[in-house]
A = this chain, B = another copy of it.
Amino acid sequence: MCRFLAYRGSDMFMSDLITQSEQSLIRQSYKARERAEPLNGDGFGVGWYAPEIDAIPCVFTSITPAWSNRNLHRLAGKIRSCCFFAHVRAASRGLLVSEVNCHPFQYGQFLWMHNGSIGEFGKIKRRMRESLNDETYNILQGTTDSEHCFAVFLNELLPHLDDYCVQTLLDAMLATLKHLNTWAQDAGISDASHCNFAITDGQNIVVTRYVSDPTQEPPTLYISSGERFESHNGEYRMITSNSHPKAVIVASEPLTEERSDWSLVPKNHVVVVTPELHVRISAIES
């Protein structure tokens, strides 16, 4: 299993979520609390937006473990952003550790991450590729189930960019899940697919917590929102907002000791975060 986080809100240093706190994504990557298999040493990636420059996110990935990557530590402490993704990878058995397989995947203004795995991916990989039009087909660079899911998502999304809003993102996400279910059924696949997907355009964020077999549990997914996420006396907390939140974090595990800062997203639900930081959680119909 991988780990990820998505941030949207006022400008914030990436280091506050990724490298600094005791519960930061990197610390989690080598000392897990909620996972039986703690290790996320098979590469990492961060992607962030600098809207004052342009709409295309900047991505930094590496195949070395995040915890010892000096470039990541230096960059995270210098880069402030209103929207960023971070991901630490535990390579699925048999999948390669390669820069092209590091999340987040980027295309145009979009970033994509995945925590989980597609059941018996080899049996539908070819069908997934064949479903793609030429544009999305040629986007594929690697071999992971995660990137192939991104291609399926883009194949749904790109024809609708003319009339684009957050609902367009959401529709493409739900259509992707539907396709995956259909193809798995057609291929007689019995293994479940674990599909915690995250997509952003730099403005909106959509994240699913989904497992295709309702008798199983998908990976965890938590939300925290408030005035700001900051450190007091060395301990990070989400500071409560009196009015409208100015910071929203969606993460595979809580990033603070204080669990009351975090709510668990229910199974087979999708989270939508808008530019105004409205958070909407709704059930995914199967």
- A residues with CB within 8 A of B: 30, 38-39, 41-42, 50, 53, 58-65, 67-68, 70-71, 74-75, 77-78, 80, 91, 96-100, 122, 125-126, 129-130, 134, 137-138, 140-143
Residues of B with C-beta under 8 A to A97: 64, 68
- Bound-complex Cα distance A62 to B100 (A): 15
On whether the beta carbons of B99 and A78 are closer than 8 Å, the reply is no
The residue from B42, B50, B71, B142 contacting A61, defined by CB atoms under 8 A apart: B71
Residues of B with C-beta under 8 A to A62: 71
- Bound-complex Cα distance A96 to B97 (A): 14
With A41-B65, A42-B68, A71-B71 given, can you name 8 additional A-B contacts, CB distance below 8 Å?
A: A50-B78, A58-B75, A60-B75, A61-B70, A63-B64, A68-B91, A122-B138, A126-B137
- The quantity of this chain's copies bound in the complex is 4
- Bound-complex Cα distance A98 to B70 (A): 11
Residues of B with C-beta under 8 A to A91: 68
14 cross-chain CB contacts under 8 A? A42-B65, A42-B68, A53-B78, A58-B77, A59-B74, A64-B64, A70-B99, A71-B71, A96-B99, A96-B100, A96-B141, A122-B138, A140-B143, A141-B143
On whether the beta carbons of A126 and B134 are closer than 8 Å, the reply is yes
Q: Who on chain B is nearest to A68 by CB? A: B97
Residues of B with C-beta under 8 A to A78: 50, 53, 58
Known: A60-B75, A71-B61, A91-B68. A125 touches B96 (CB 8 A): no
Shortest beta-carbon distance, A263 to chain B, in Å? 30
On whether the beta carbons of B53 and A80 are closer than 8 Å, the reply is yes
Residues of B with C-beta under 8 A to A38: 38
- Bound-complex Cα distance A114 to B33 (A): 30
On whether the beta carbons of B50 and A41 are closer than 8 Å, the reply is no
Residues of B with C-beta under 8 A to A58: 74-75, 77-78
- Bound-complex Cα distance A70 to B65 (A): 16
The residue from B30, B98, B142 contacting A41, defined by CB atoms under 8 A apart: B30
